[in-house]
Chains A and B, each alone.
Chain A
Amino acid sequence: MKKRGRGIACMWYPIGFTVAANPSAAVVKVNEDGTATLLTGTVETGQGSLTVLGQIVAEELGIATDDVHVVSADTDTTPMDTGAIASRTTYVTGNASRLAAEKAKEILFQVAAPMLGVKPEQLEARDRKIQVKNYPQRSIGIGEVANQAQFVMGQPALGSASFNPPTVALDPATGQGKPFATYVYATQIADVDVDDETGEVEVLRIVAAHDCGTAINPMLVEGQIEGGISMGVGFALQEEMLFDKNGKQLNPNLTNYIMPTSLDMPEIEVDIVKNFDPTGPFGAKGVGEPTAVPTAAAIMNAIYDAVGARVYSLPATPERVLAAIKAARAKKLPKPKRKETQKRIAAH
């Protein structure tokens, strides 16, 4: 018979490397028409990091996403970057890109200040204009300023910067220290159906509430969460590299190594938790890896809720779930709902 259950799991996850330096550098070039180019040594591996970095640079320069072209992934043209790893691109490369854009913007302000008859620190960049703070009617188009900077003042608006997350090394004896600059938090709740005769588990729905600081691009954040959940579902229920007794892998192909297809994926509902991290670019932290972290735990807790059986080994294949159900029945455990279980508990 199919039994329905729900399970909840939360998690925390750091941004960037553990203590080790993991800097990123960036170069921003404002073109003479007020559009810009970002040079970054990170690599687009699918996450949408180039789009997000472009949005960060655009925000700093007060221009639109489409005004920024991003050049990446070539050691001959782009500055160093620790790379697309450890959920660090939005935070670390994002901070470097914002700082580089800020430096280019300072040149624009120096050029615009005499044009507007104010000091550079009285200016801001918004809506493709350089304008006087609190007096938006006193403004010049950013293109005009950039053109003036390059062709009249002979001072093209360029900026370069780097960022490395601040950390404190861990004490080798106690592990005490500050290994990461910041962390993100998340909760996922899963609904499952468990067939208590076959052990088959179907994930019906996953609700995910993730913190990423400011969502620079909510659509891409959703995409990361949905994708992370699919990896979590595979980790929870399907995927396992199997070896024979001589250490040769038995299933080195996608015929026998089962990863989720469109038929295996539940309905996913995504909430982005409102948050702002003052150390990130415009309050942003990151979202890549954490999306795959709590899924398996939420599904295992839902299985327990459904059939009162705890799975201690992943993946929760039908055989394992069935064995857990049998073990639970053998111990004559009561159904978990609001009743105490005696299993593995020792009063001290």
Chain B
Amino acid sequence: MAQKPGSKKDSAMSKKAKPVRSKKSAVIGRPVETVETLRLPAVMQQVAYPIEALAPKVRQQTPAVGQRATRPDCRLHGLGQTKYIDDMSFPGMLYCKIKRAGIASALIKKIDVREAEAMPGVMAIITGKDIPVNSYGPSIKDQPVLADDRVFHAGDGVAAVAAVTEQIALEALDKIRVEYEPLTPIFDPVEAMKDSAPKVHPPSSNIYATKLIKKGDVEKGFRESYRIFEDTFTTQMVEHVPLEPHCSIASWDANGRLTIHSTLGRITLGRTDMARTLQLPISRIRMVATIVGGNFGGKNEITQEPALAVLSKMTGRPVKGTFTRTEEFIATTTRHPIIMHYKTGVSKEGKIIARKVRLVLDGGAYCSWSETTLGKACILSPGPYNIENVHSEAFVVYTNKTMTGAMRGFGAPQVCFAYESQMDEIAHALNIDPLEIRLRNAFHEGSASPTGQVLHSVVVKDSLLQAAERYGWKEAR
């Protein structure tokens, strides 16, 4: 990977620094003083920013639509003036850190917080039993805010600490003792589909949602095909990596009204989740997101917010929680790995006659946005092509891994990798140009989708031709 600017540090540090002395007073006539005698306050003066009242010309023009208008928020970002949640603090604010299980599947026998609680600076510690309704999720509410009596994946939170500094909160985590009874974990989604597999959420089946799209008669289509292609494609688990880690601050007022500042892309539904987990009327909750430092599907749900709210209520002080980069990986949603089996029958001219798709999505420990991902992946899996006979079925399966959820494309990047790789194979096998075979099959205005929807504003052929033109596809060979 790339060089790190940190590496420049060493050479920058090698010069011996001389103590700084102010040579001149800022005010004329005042005697020259050294820094030692005039201890300036630690608090920086307010930075003066340019007040550029005049917006760029492009923002002043009409009509507004179609203009390459600049973004007022972009100016603030570039000045360092944007206040992300982690840039905010409130008087008396405490810092929360969460103890992560570190074991993929286990029963919790005992959580001993006594030693941690006794540490100076530790103000409160909570576990799952302190959350009024300890479950959430956009469809199936199978995810606890903090583990109850069972751990479903290694990134599960088992206890949350509020302390006067982040450092003390971190040190307190080490003093929390958790006794586990390990259970047999399951990590392979195909294994997890078997009846004999250990259940991730007993007594529920590991297959927690399915989807089926059927159109025409695929078996008949395969019989009529000139050739049949069968492939299996797989994809990996990917993290969103927004540059800004998840961060929230909870605070209450004396009327019992809760304010949550959170890096959340969906505040309306985030508020609903808060009301449910805390058993509060919605009117008593204010949710503010300011500007979120990158989402990509990873900041669509609450995470630690109910725990922060409970800690804040217990201590009577605002409580901030900021995920470490490690927590971003192990304790937030990720992109579904999918095992994709494609069977496609084509005519001699490369026209797709029938396509049968089977998708197995690794759903990780919780449902999160899996049902949406399953649906979109299944519907989109045949590709942007006119196919008379389609059979696509999809399964999403629990495993004891980090939960998978929404990530830029809800399963579409995975199935596109599969259907477009196979399209390429078909083109090469039939000796048809890869551009040409796509043009022969692509949707046109009024095409019926795999779900029988008549499509409008369809420009897949235009996009193929325009990209080919720009690239110089025909000229290149």
The reply to whether A and B meet directly (CB within 8 Å) is yes
On A, residues with C-beta under 8 Å from B are 6-14, 17-20, 41, 43-46, 48, 50-51, 54-56, 58-59, 62-66, 68, 72-76, 80-86, 126-128, 170, 172-180, 182-183, 185-189, 207-211, 213-220, 228, 231-232, 234-235, 239-241, 243, 246-249, 251-255, 257-259, 261-263, 269, 271, 273-279, 282, 285, 288-290, 292-298, 300-301, 304, 310-315, 336, 338-341, 343-348
Is B21 part of the binding interface, using a Cβ–Cβ cutoff of 8 Å?
no
Cβ of A205 to closest chain B Cβ, rounded Å:
8
Cα distance A282–B470 in the bound complex, in angstroms: 27
Residue numbers in B under 8 Å from A252 (CB-CB):
325-326, 328-330
Contact (Cβ within 8 A) B376 A11: no
Contact (Cβ within 8 A) B286 A65: no
On B, residues with C-beta under 8 Å from A are 1-2, 55, 58-73, 102-105, 153-155, 185, 187, 211-215, 222-223, 225-239, 241, 264-269, 271, 285-297, 299-300, 325-326, 328-330, 334-335, 345, 372, 375-376, 378-380, 383-384, 392, 400-402, 406, 408-410, 412-413, 416-417, 419-421, 424-425, 428-431, 434-435, 438, 442-443, 449-453, 455-460, 462-464, 466-468, 470-471, 473, 476
Contact (Cβ within 8 A) B463 A292: no
Residue numbers in A under 8 Å from B300 (CB-CB):
83-85
Beyond A8-B434, A228-B408, A232-B413, is A248–B154 a contact (Cβ under 8 Å)?
yes
Task: Name the one of A7, A208, A218, A254 contacting B66, with C-beta atoms under 8 angstroms.
Answer: A218
Cα distance A347–B228 in the bound complex, in angstroms: 7
Cα distance A310–B56 in the bound complex, in angstroms: 49
Contact (Cβ within 8 A) B420 A174: no
Beyond A183-B455, A298-B420, is A207–B428 a contact (Cβ under 8 Å)?
no
Beyond A12-B383, A252-B330, is A247–B105 a contact (Cβ under 8 Å)?
yes
Contact (Cβ within 8 A) A11 B416: yes
Residue numbers in B under 8 Å from A228 (CB-CB):
408
Contact (Cβ within 8 A) A55 B69: yes
Contact (Cβ within 8 A) A241 B429: no
Cα distance A237–B45 in the bound complex, in angstroms: 47
Q: Kindly report which residue of chain B lies nearest to residue A222, judged by CB atoms.
A: B68
Residue numbers in B under 8 Å from A341 (CB-CB):
425, 428-429
Residue numbers in A under 8 Å from B264 (CB-CB):
43
Contact (Cβ within 8 A) B223 A348: yes
Residue numbers in A under 8 Å from B431 (CB-CB):
338-340
Contact (Cβ within 8 A) B67 A14: no
Contact (Cβ within 8 A) B294 A45: yes
9 A-B pairs with least C-beta separation: A83-B266, A247-B104, A175-B213, A297-B420, A58-B64, A45-B295, A252-B329, A12-B384, A66-B59
Residue numbers in A under 8 Å from B443 (CB-CB):
12, 185
Residue numbers in A under 8 Å from B416 (CB-CB):
9, 11, 293-294, 296-297
Residue numbers in B under 8 Å from A180 (CB-CB):
453
Beyond A10-B464, A14-B376, is A74–B430 a contact (Cβ under 8 Å)?
no
Contact (Cβ within 8 A) B228 A185: no
Cα distance A86–B55 in the bound complex, in angstroms: 31
Contact (Cβ within 8 A) A12 B460: yes
Task: Name the one of A59, A259, A340 contacting B65, with C-beta atoms under 8 angstroms.
Answer: A59
Cα distance A55–B413 in the bound complex, in angstroms: 30
Beyond A17-B372, A51-B71, is A345–B428 a contact (Cβ under 8 Å)?
no
Residue numbers in B under 8 Å from A258 (CB-CB):
1
Cβ of B99 to closest chain A Cβ, rounded Å:
15
Residue numbers in A under 8 Å from B435 (CB-CB):
8
Residue numbers in A under 8 Å from B61 (CB-CB):
64-65
Q: Kindly report which residue of chain A lies nearest to residue B390, judged by CB atoms.
A: A175
Contact (Cβ within 8 A) A345 B215: no
Contact (Cβ within 8 A) B457 A276: yes
Beyond A13-B380, A55-B65, is A177–B452 a contact (Cβ under 8 Å)?
yes
Cα distance A240–B402 in the bound complex, in angstroms: 13
Task: Name the one of B70, B267, B463 contacting A75, with C-beta atoms under 8 angstroms.
Answer: B267
Task: Name the one of A66, A83, A235, A285 contacting B55, with C-beta atoms under 8 angstroms.
Answer: A66
Contact (Cβ within 8 A) B286 A76: yes
Contact (Cβ within 8 A) A86 B410: yes
Task: Name the one of A50, A75, A173, A292 contacting B73, with C-beta atoms under 8 angstroms.
Answer: A50
Cα distance A63–B268 in the bound complex, in angstroms: 30
Beyond A64-B61, A297-B417, is A290–B268 a contact (Cβ under 8 Å)?
no
Cα distance A277–B330 in the bound complex, in angstroms: 41
Cβ of B130 to closest chain A Cβ, rounded Å:
24
Contact (Cβ within 8 A) B266 A82: yes
Q: Kindly report which residue of chain B lies nearest to residue A172, judged by CB atoms.
A: B212
Cβ of A133 to closest chain B Cβ, rounded Å:
15
Contact (Cβ within 8 A) B412 A293: yes
Residue numbers in B under 8 Å from A214 (CB-CB):
65-66
Residue numbers in A under 8 Å from B214 (CB-CB):
173-176
Residue numbers in B under 8 Å from A174 (CB-CB):
212-215
Q: Kindly report which residue of chain A lies nearest to residue B453, judged by CB atoms.
A: A178
Contact (Cβ within 8 A) A344 B291: no
Residue numbers in A under 8 Å from B65 (CB-CB):
55-56, 58-59, 214, 216, 282
Interface hub of B2, B326, B408 (most chain A Cβ within 10 A): B408
Q: List 28 A-B contacts (CB under 8 A).
A: A10-B460, A13-B412, A43-B289, A45-B291, A55-B64, A59-B64, A64-B59, A66-B60, A83-B268, A84-B295, A185-B384, A188-B467, A209-B464, A241-B238, A246-B185, A247-B401, A257-B239, A269-B470, A269-B471, A278-B456, A294-B416, A313-B233, A313-B236, A340-B428, A340-B430, A344-B231, A345-B227, A345-B429
